[in-house]
Amino acid sequence: MARDSCMARIAAGAAVGGAVGGAVGAVYGTYEAIRYKVPGLLKIRHIGQTTLGSAAVFGLFLGAGSLIHCGKSY
């Protein structure tokens, strides 16, 4: 069983982080749009911005964590 390359681990970490961040961002964006009574179609824009922002941040941090972890051997 061959070990995955470092780039594959970083990509997988970023993808998982993006998925988790997107889910959290969508839930939080929806809650925030309802709480602050964002009008009409601006709700969709607000939820989308929150989702993409959270996905980018979570993906960046999980990708960076995978990069740091990649050099360690157990």
**Residue 60 located in a structural domain:** yes
**Residue 7 located in a structural domain:** no
What does the pLDDT look like over 39-53, one tens digit per residue? 999 999 999 999 999
pTM: 0.87
**Residue 3 located in a structural domain:** no
What is the span of the domain harbouring residue 61?
22-67
Please state which of the ranges 11-15, 28-32, 48-52, 68-72 shows the lowest mean pLDDT.
68-72
pLDDT band at residue 72 under the 50/70/90 scheme: confident
* pLDDT at 74 (0 to 100): 61
**Residue 13 located in a structural domain:** no
Q: What letter would DSSP give residue 2?
A: P
* pLDDT at 73 (0 to 100): 64
Q: What's CA 39's distance to the chain center, in Å?
A: 26
In the chain, how many domains are there?
1
